[in-house]
Amino acid sequence: MKALVLIKQSDPFHSFETRELPKPRPKAGEVLIKVAASGLNFADVMARKGLYKEAPPLPSVLGYDVSGTIEELGEGVTRFQIGDRVTAMTRFGGYAEYAATNASAVALIPSQMDNATATALTTQYCTAYYAAAEMVQLHAGDKVLVQSGAGGVGTALIQYARYKGCEIFATAGSQDKMDYLRSIGVDHPIQYTLQDFEKMVMEITNGEGVDAIFDAVGGSSVKKGFRSLAAGGRIVCYGAADMSDKNLFGKINAALGFGFYHPAMLMTPSKSIIGINMLRIADHKPAMIQKCLESVISLSTEGVFTPLIGKIFKATEIGLAHEYLEKRKSMGKVVVSWE
Ligand SMILES: NC(=O)c1ccc[n+]([C@@H]2O[C@H](COP(=O)([O-])OP(=O)(O)OC[C@H]3O[C@@H](n4cnc5c(N)ncnc54)[C@H](OP(=O)(O)O)[C@@H]3O)[C@@H](O)[C@H]2O)c1
């Protein structure tokens, strides 16, 4: 099979090589998927640049989500049949013509759903669902701030917050992203390159702050976010994109920028900090991944979740796809197609 192999940690155009690799065999409890579309996630950019601790050693095949058809069932798998159209999370290995993954991270997709949309629903929508529904439990009337709102996870968080009847604040980095945020129901879009989000949030909420913040920017964005929380507020930290384009000194600064929090600093103002790493959840609570995936597919069937497809590249254009995501050009999901 063909696979897009990460051969070195370099720029988008010199990091990948298309190689012939043996087709994986599904182990017990796994399925083998013939991949139609491989999803990109921002963590792939971090991994390509050597900034992702959990990434496999080089040469490696990245990729957290795929959609396609089931080609082979591992021992003990009874939930699926050969030929089923599915979307699935992979623990790396998704940038290839075939991927084997645990059946608990696989879901059937409705016949009318295209492969790119299905791919968007796995890692990004499941992360958003786990954060907003399982960890924070948003309620009607909650004031919610979504950082990087025009991205894949950001779009999913906004759609869920809207479904729950929340008042939504969201940040993004350009004017066209402001228009997009308005179009998906954000009440208070904030262009962080021109406006200070902490100041805007405090002004609009008359100094009270918001009930929940979802932040994958990291660094000082978290410290400012923590200050922007109302009593009972929770900030979910699930990424550190801010570290992706910095030199060593910048990274240390960004790491220190998160701030240091003694439990008394959480207890007295009644604020919480929640950390999420979906890989750890997949390792230790596979049933939770299955629950998130099924909930996400069901909400998409109801029309609550409608992923935006940022751009579809050919598999051979993996460099262009990475550049597109890294340079903040994307809104919604970026995929590469094998068809
Ligand atoms: N913890 C987990 O388990 C988990 C799971 C999935 C995703 N994540 C994290 O969630 C975040 C969103 O992932 P995604 O796949 O949906 O990506 P994405 O949001 O579609 O794309 C990344 C966006 O991040 C923003 N950004 C902020 N600082 C940036 C920087 N220094 N360089 C480049 N972009 C920057 C940009 O939007 P603006 O132009 O608006 O700034 C960019 O478009 C990522 O940080 C990812 O690592 C974590």
Give the domain ranges of the chain: 2-121+307-337, 125-278
Cα within 13 Å of Cα(110), Cβ side: 13
Q: Is the dihedral of CA 78, 79, 85, 90 positive or negative?
A: negative
* Residue of 40, 41, 42 best suited for mutating to test ligand 1, as the one with most atoms within 8 Å of CB: 42
> What CATH number is given for 125-278 in this structure?
3.40.50.720
* C-beta 189 within 6 A of ligand 1: no
Q: Would you state the pLDDT for residue 172?
A: 98
Neighbours of 25 (CB within 10 A): 11
* C-beta 177 within 6 A of ligand 1: yes
* C-beta 328 within 6 A of ligand 1: yes
Q: Is 270 left (phi over 0), alpha (psi -120 to 50) or beta?
A: left
Name which of 256, 274, 229, 242 is nearest 173 in CA terms.
242
Q: Would you state the pLDDT for residue 109?
A: 94
User: Which residues are bridge partners to 212 per DSSP?
Assistant: 144, 234
Calculate how far, in angstroms, residue 254's C-alpha sits from the geometric centre of ligand 1. Answer: 15
Q: Would you state the pLDDT for residue 243?
A: 86
One-letter amino acid of 171: T
Q: Is 15 left (phi over 0), alpha (psi -120 to 50) or beta?
A: alpha
* C-beta 244 within 6 A of ligand 1: yes
* C-beta 223 within 6 A of ligand 1: no
DSSP category for residue 212: E
DSSP category for residue 35: E
Q: Would you state the pLDDT for residue 58?
A: 96
Q: Would you state the pLDDT for residue 245?
A: 83
CB 5 within 8 A of CB 19: yes
Name which of 38, 108, 31 is nearest 71 in CA terms.
31
CB 140 within 8 A of CB 164: yes
Q: Would you state the pLDDT for residue 306?
A: 96
Q: Would you state the pLDDT for residue 247?
A: 85
Q: How far apart are CA 106 and CA 104, in angstroms?
A: 6
Q: Would you state the pLDDT for residue 232?
A: 97
Name which of 171, 161, 159, 156 is nearest 141 in CA terms.
161
pTM here is 0.96
310 CA closest ligand 1 atom index: 20
Q: Would you state the pLDDT for residue 225?
A: 98
Q: In whole angstroms, how far apart are CA 56 and each of 48, 53, 330, 331, 337?
A: 11, 9, 26, 28, 23
* C-beta 322 within 6 A of ligand 1: no
Residues 6+ apart with CB under 8 A from 17: 4, 5, 7, 59
DSSP category for residue 64: S
Q: Would you state the pLDDT for residue 314?
A: 98
Q: Would you state the pLDDT for residue 254?
A: 86
Q: What is the pLDDT along the chain (339 residues), one digit of tens a residue?
A: 999 999 999 999 999 999 999 999 999 999 999 999 999 999 999 999 998 888 999 999 999 999 999 999 999 999 999 999 999 999 999 999 999 999 999 999 999 999 999 999 999 999 999 999 999 999 999 999 999 999 999 999 999 999 999 999 999 999 999 999 999 999 999 999 999 999 999 999 999 999 999 999 999 999 999 999 999 999 999 999 988 888 888 888 888 889 999 999 999 999 999 999 999 999 999 999 999 999 999 999 999 999 999 999 999 999 999 999 999 999 999 999 999
Q: How far apart are CA 243 and CA 250, in angstroms?
A: 7
Calculate how far, in angstroms, residue 46's C-alpha sits from the geometric centre of ligand 1. Answer: 10
Neighbours of 1 (CB within 10 A): 15
* C-beta 122 within 6 A of ligand 1: no
> In CATH, which superfamily holds the domain spanning 2-121+307-337?
Medium-chain alcohol dehydrogenases, catalytic domain (3.90.180.10)
Q: How far apart are CA 106 and CA 94, in angstroms?
A: 13
Q: Would you state the pLDDT for residue 250?
A: 87
Q: Would you state the pLDDT for residue 231?
A: 97
